[in-house]
């Protein structure tokens, strides 16, 4: 920190008019600082902007304080410019870690990407996907016929995973949620809860006839043949929340909504 009570603060936005206007006022106070050079980053937008910002700062682990100017804002605080420095300093910190996705594509090339929410596989045509699932090199499901499947972190368990009727995971739980999308066979399989130390491998069957894409947050790779996913503890990021409104509390509260 550059000085007591005078932190270096970077402000990023989702480039909507309201967020940009608020950012201009905050930059008058803090200056125009790059996220990589800051003590704190203020992200004005929704969860999409938060994910982009986390990817940007993951190598420096600058803590990120989000304020909601988006449509959902599960990872964001309520917007207020009042006492902003004190709010940054007194905020509760939550450390989260991404999933590492290693993909073998149809050309035999390997590509990698990181995901703080989930890694998802989706069918690319009218044909359902056929996916073999292995956990720690042991085949657990020989063939899942489905629209797709996703592996979610605790932070991402309240996002797409929840919409797909997957389980909500406590934010500090050493777990991952494996959730199918519209499973056809086995029809009654609803997924699994795995250790965050597990390595999950998805092997595509009849891949040329049934093409599948793999997505890690906002990175999509098409025509995949094999996708291996594991937690990456070397790229942790820190989220900031107002006292009493931590991500852990939000995840807990979400389980009691109707």
**How many Å from the N-terminal Cα to the C-terminal Cα in the chain?**
43
Residue 217 annotated as binding? Answer: no
The CA distances from residue 31 to 86, 120, 193, 224, in Å, are 17, 39, 45, 44
Residue 155 annotated as binding? Answer: yes
Radius of gyration of the chain (CA): 20
The CA distances from residue 248 to 5, 62, 244, in Å, are 28, 20, 10
- Give the 3-state secondary structure of residue 210: coil
Out of 20, 32, 39, 47, the active site residue is 47
- In sign, the C-alpha dihedral spanning 173, 248, 99, 239 is negative
Residue 223 annotated as binding? Answer: no
Is 105 known to be catalytic? no
Residue 19 annotated as binding? Answer: no
Residue 31 annotated as binding? Answer: no
Q: To which H or E segment does residue 50 belong?
A: helix 47-57
Residue 162 annotated as binding? Answer: yes
In sequence order, what are the residues at sequence separation of 6 or more whose Cβ sits closer than 8 angstroms to the Cβ of residue 32? none
Residue 118 annotated as binding? Answer: yes
Q: Which residues are annotated as a binding site for NAD(+)?
A: 47-48, 117-118, 147, 155, 158-163
Looking at the annotation, which residues are catalytic? 47
Q: Which residues are annotated as a binding site?
A: 47-48, 117-118, 147, 155, 158-163
């Amino acid at each position: 920190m550059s000085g007591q009570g005078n932190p270096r603060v970077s402000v990023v936005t989702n480039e909507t008019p309201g967020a940009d206007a608020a950012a201009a006022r905050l930059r008058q106070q803090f200056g125009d600082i790059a996220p990589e050079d800051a003590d704190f980053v203020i992200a004005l937008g929704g969860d999409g902007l938060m994910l982009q910002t986390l990817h940007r700062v993951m190598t420096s682990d600058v803590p990120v304080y989000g304020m909601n100017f988006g449509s959902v804002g599960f990872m964001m605080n309520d917007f207020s410019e009042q006492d902003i420095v004190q709010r940054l300093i007194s905020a509760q910190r939550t450390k989260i870690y991404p999933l590492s996705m290693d993909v073998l594509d149809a050309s035999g090339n390997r590509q990698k990407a990181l995901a703080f929410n989930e890694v998802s596989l989706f069918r690319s045509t009218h044909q359902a996907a056929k996916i073999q699932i292995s956990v720690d090199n042991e085949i657990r499901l020989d063939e899942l016929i489905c629209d797709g499947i996703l592996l979610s972190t605790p932070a991402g368990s309240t996002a797409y995973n929840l919409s797909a009727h997957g389980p909500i995971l406590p934010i500090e739980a050493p777990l991952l949620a494996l959730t199918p999308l519209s499973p056809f066979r086995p029809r009654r399989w609803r997924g699994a809860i795995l250790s965050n130390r597990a390595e999950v491998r998805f092997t595509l069957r009849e891949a040329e006839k049934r093409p599948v894409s793999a997505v890690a947050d906002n990175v999509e790779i098409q025509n995949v043949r094999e996708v291996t996913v594991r937690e990456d503890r070397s790229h942790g990021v820190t989220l900031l929340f107002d006292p009493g409104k931590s991500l852990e509390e939000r995840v807990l509260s979400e389980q009691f909504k109707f």
